[in-house]
Structure 1
Amino acid sequence: MSQKVKVVTIEEFQEKEPKIFRRIYAGEKNGNIRFCKADRYKTAVTGTFAIPDKRNPSSVKITFGYYMTKEVLIFIDSGNSVKNIMKHMQNYETTEFLLLDFMECILKEDLIFLQSYEERLTKLEEELLKGKIKDFDRKILLVRKELSALSSYYEQIADVGEVLQQDAAERGSEKESFLFGLFCNRAGRLYTMVQELKEYSMQLREMHQTQIDMRQNEIMKVLTIVTTIFMPLTLIAGWYGMNFVNMPELSSPYGYGIIIGACVIIIVIELCFLWKKNWFK
């Protein structure tokens, strides 16, 4: 690896360059990096990276800072995250190309990673159509949280690329400016892909809600049919339940049978009517 790239701990950099350290971590509470950024100065570019961990994008981030001049590119990382990424870097002569290559390595496997989300959502859709899915709300909420974290990340990393592209253009380096522009386009495509996946997840959520509404409508339909059928019978039961002495049916030996027959006829008539109106389909 080029001698122009160095990795130091937060403590070492803070001790050697306290003013620059305050610039890099300005606005970061207790030194906790929350987002990706790039700030241009007269002779340097500083900033931070907050990369969602692919194992848990919504909760865990790989964070570190950086400081770049023409002579040196310093990464500020107390762990091994930067060193692991640097293993895949090429040996360029300028710090700008080294930083660009580093950022390319960060996004190297992200397209395949995002395709795994498409596969997850497709599987959820298939299970949803079969009606065999459990804990759908929890699963889709987890996916949407992770996609939201990735969406913010790609938007931020594209902004970093734009700052570096502008810096290269103002220094008259057309090649570097062009390559940083390509990086911005790549980050933009990943951002667009995440937005499409979020839209896909929203469609699945709406489909699930539609299925719930349809089941509730079926239940209400059954209750309505039952209520419609037994309402006249309830009226008859209430009517003769008053036991007025002048009701001849109560003293007739055929009264009980007549009432039963009348109820059966009413039920048959109602069922025929409901069937004709397609209530049972």
Structure 2
Amino acid sequence: MPRRPSLRSAIAGVVLSGSEVCVLLPAELAGQFRELVGRCREPESLLREFFLAVVESSFKSLTMIEEELDSIESLLARGHVVRQASIVRVVSNSRTLRRCLSELRYVINASLNRLGRHRISKVVEGLRDDVERLYTVLEHVRDRVALILPLIASYDAERLNRIVTKLTIVSVIFLPLTLIASIYGMNFRFMPGLNDPYAFYITMAVMAAISAALLTYFKVKKWF
């Protein structure tokens, strides 16, 4: 799954004074809004375009979060391993976007109170509805994350159980073989079959038969 960047938030401000509108932007965003300011001839247009740009950026951020969440769900559906860092990044981005939407909703409501029945108030009200829709979709994203987290933990536990089961099967198969090898490794002068020229081949055949029997038993039980 391709790594997607984490969201970064920036603080911007809007000052309404009489018929004037002042937009305060950090240095890293000034270049992006310079073209926007250049094509706005009226204060109302600047305010409208500013809110539209912020809402559009929020929609893009939410789309990025949903796409990453879809990728995680697709990997889980195919039984692939999903790193915890991926879901943590989704949670972090969702929290950042939620914080930005809270601030944006506050600014829009404050602007509506200041504008009153101004002609631009209808546009700002529409943007407020867009922000509320963003909030609703973001809540759905949080619900999806809440469902995915225990699912990832369950897959990790299941994968660990499969590994432990395989190691246990290998240990059980080698246990009787180790016992036979230990018995014939004792330093006794007299031992049955010690001088038999076929004793080695018989012992190896018995060990192979035990291994085959255990493997067949585990296969029938569908333990691996």
Match of 1:275 in 2: 219
Superposed structure 1 runs of 4+ greater than 6 Å apart: 174-179
Number of residue-to-residue matches in the alignment: 218
Is 1:225 equivalent to 2:169 in the alignment? Answer: yes
RMSD of aligned residue pairs (Cα, Å) = 4.0
Q: Where do residues 108-127 of structure 1 align in structure 2 (5 Å cutoff)? A: 108=56, 110-112=58-60, 114-126=62-74
Look up the equivalent residue of 1:122 and give its one-letter code. Answer: D
Look up the equivalent residue of 2:8 and give its one-letter code. Answer: S
Q: Flag structure 2 segments of 5+ consecutive residues without an equivalent.
A: none
Q: Where do residues 232-243 of structure 1 align in structure 2 (5 Å cutoff)? A: 232-243=176-187
The percentage of counterpart residues that share the same residue type is 24
Match of 1:157 in 2: 104
Deviations 1:19-46 (A, max 9, x none): xxxxxxxxxxxxxxxxxxxxxxxxxxxx
How far does residue 126 in structure 1 lie from its aligned partner after superposition? 3.9
CA distance in 1, matches of 2:41, 2:133: 24
How far does residue 214 in structure 1 lie from its aligned partner after superposition? 3.9
How far does residue 226 in structure 1 lie from its aligned partner after superposition? 1.1
CA distance in 1, matches of 2:210, 2:69: 51
Deviations 1:141-166 (A, max 9, x none): 44443333222101211122233445
> Quick check: 2:94–2:138 contact (8 Å CA) kept in 1?
yes
> Quick check: 2:12–2:23 contact (8 Å CA) kept in 1?
yes
Q: Which one has the bigger strand percentage?
A: 1
Is 1:266 equivalent to 2:210 in the alignment? Answer: yes
Match of 2:7 in 1: 58
> Quick check: 2:6–2:93 contact (8 Å CA) kept in 1?
yes
SS in 1 for 2:8: coil
Give the structure-1-normalised TM-score: 0.58
> Quick check: 2:7–2:61 contact (8 Å CA) kept in 1?
no
Query: Which of 170, 185, 201 is equivalent to 2:129?
Result: 185
CA distance 1:90–1:110, change in 2 (3 Å): farther
CA distance 1:204–1:84, change in 2 (3 Å): farther
How far does residue 188 in structure 1 lie from its aligned partner after superposition? 2.1
How far does residue 265 in structure 1 lie from its aligned partner after superposition? 3.2
SS in 1 for 2:193: helix
Match of 1:68 in 2: 16
Deviations 1:139-193 (A, max 9, x none): 554444333322210121112223344556xx7x498877655433321211232
Which structure would you say has the larger RCO, counting Cα contacts within 8 Å and 6 or more residues apart?
Answer: 2
Deviations 1:92-129 (A, max 9, x none): 7xx6x964564234314643553344334434544565
CA distance in 1, matches of 2:195, 2:65: 76
CA distance 1:223–1:175, change in 2 (3 Å): same
CA distance 1:260–1:101, change in 2 (3 Å): closer
Match of 1:85 in 2: 36
Q: Flag structure 1 segments of 5+ consecutive residues without an equivalent.
A: 1-54
Is 1:247 equivalent to 2:191 in the alignment? Answer: yes
Give the structure-2-normalised TM-score: 0.69
SS in 2 for 1:74: strand
> Quick check: 1:67–1:75 contact (8 Å CA) kept in 2?
yes
